Structure 1
Amino acid sequence: MAGTPTEHAGGQAPYSDAAIVLVLMLRLVFHLALRQAEGFAASLLRLLA
């Protein structure tokens, strides 16, 4: 779930509320760490695109 590039180095990427809820749900269902859940969601979204 790579966000759009930010204006400043090291800035936070803006995510929608739905994307945040999706990652947190995946984290709970699959017992993943936050970074693992974020990568998993990004992989799923790449497959859907």
Structure 2
Amino acid sequence: MSQGDLTGRKVLVVEDNYLQAKTIAEALADHGAEVLGPFPEPEECLP
């Protein structure tokens, strides 16, 4: 895996600011990550 390559990785994004969450999620996806979320609160992503 090269630096910045997140292919095959799942990343959970929890951020209450929608614009920041969207930017983070897009950047992670651009590097190959499977993005879960974004969620505004931790309680919303837990079973």
What TM-score do you get using the length of structure 1 for normalisation? 0.35
Which structure features the higher share of helix residues? 1
Query: Which structure would you say has the larger RCO, counting Cα contacts within 8 Å and 6 or more residues apart?
Result: 2
Which structure features the higher share of strand residues? 2
What TM-score do you get using the length of structure 2 for normalisation? 0.37
